[in-house]
Amino acid sequence: MLVCLNVSEIGSCSNLTIISVRNNKLQEVPAELGHLPSIRMINLSENLLCNLPVSILKLSHLTALWLSNNQNTPLVTLHKEIDKETRQTVCVNFMLPQTFQDRYVALPKGTANNSNEEHTPRSHPHIWFATETTEDKSCGLLRAPTPYPKELRAMSKHVRNMQQSSKRASREKIQKQAALLDNVREALRKMKKEVRSFFGNVESLVRILLVSPASAVKQREASVLCEN
């Protein structure tokens, strides 16, 4: 397993496009890695990295940066931060620092696959939950009886009747609302006529009241002249 990368060799590989150093014990990545303009993919998963050099942000053609096998996207987002020990600006991510995971799992003694070797490589990772057990649990699925064609026809007829009744009810509701609107319009017309007639009567009454005093004065003057 690699513990460090050769700085001189990496700096001279100007046409390098892919770097894969997964499953090692790298504790740091040299800053010269960020000076390779053709790099497109870097795989640093399963190492012991705490941070990455800031120069890695200069890789304009980088499309994939793998820091873990469980990444959702090939290219992860990096943030700048000052290292507390070296006081230098580095790049960090929520998947850093990396932790070393055992890549070997021991087989129980007495099994058929047991050999002279104490360990065997783990082929695929497996996620275990707290409530998960190795015992098979019988599922409680219940099979419902398949309906006969007559029952299916009856069910479809019932659905059609429900649809028709709902449409009929909606049409009746619309008709009732339209009739109510017509009644309101007719009532407004009648009210308008009554208001007009009322104001006409008031106007005629006012005219009568205004004319009556003048006629009374004229009659009085005429009676006085007749007496003389």
pLDDT at 202: 86
Average pLDDT, stretch 189-209?
A: 86
pLDDT tens string 7-53: 777 777 888 899 888 888 888 888 888 888 899 999 998 888 889 99
Q: Report phi then psi at 90, rounded to 5.
A: -130, 170
Evaluate if pTM is beyond 0.75: no
Separation CA 24–CA 44 (nearest Å): 9
CATH fourth-level superfamily of 7-92: Ribonuclease Inhibitor (3.80.10.10)
164: tokens are 């028709």
Residues 6+ apart with CB under 8 A from 71: 95
Name residue 70's amino acid: N
Is residue 63 very low, low, confident or very high in pLDDT (cuts 50, 70, 90)? Answer: very high
pLDDT at 115: 42
pLDDT at 107: 44
Residues 6+ apart with CB under 8 A from 66: 22, 41, 42, 43, 44, 45, 74
> Which stretch, 96-100, 164-168, 216-220, has highest mean pLDDT?
164-168
Residues 6+ apart with CB under 8 A from 10: 16, 30, 32, 33, 36
Q: Are 40 and 19 in contact (CB under 8 A)?
A: no
Is residue 1 very low, low, confident or very high in pLDDT (cuts 50, 70, 90)? Answer: confident
pLDDT for 217 beyond 50: yes
pLDDT at 42: 92
pLDDT at 117: 42
pLDDT tens string 105-147: 444 444 444 444 444 444 444 455 454 454 545 556 666 666 6
pLDDT at 52: 92
pLDDT tens string 141-197: 666 666 667 777 788 888 888 888 888 888 888 888 888 998 899 999 999 888 988
Domain ranges of the chain: 7-92
pLDDT at 101: 54
Separation CA 106–CA 117 (nearest Å): 9
Q: Are 64 and 41 in contact (CB under 8 A)?
A: yes
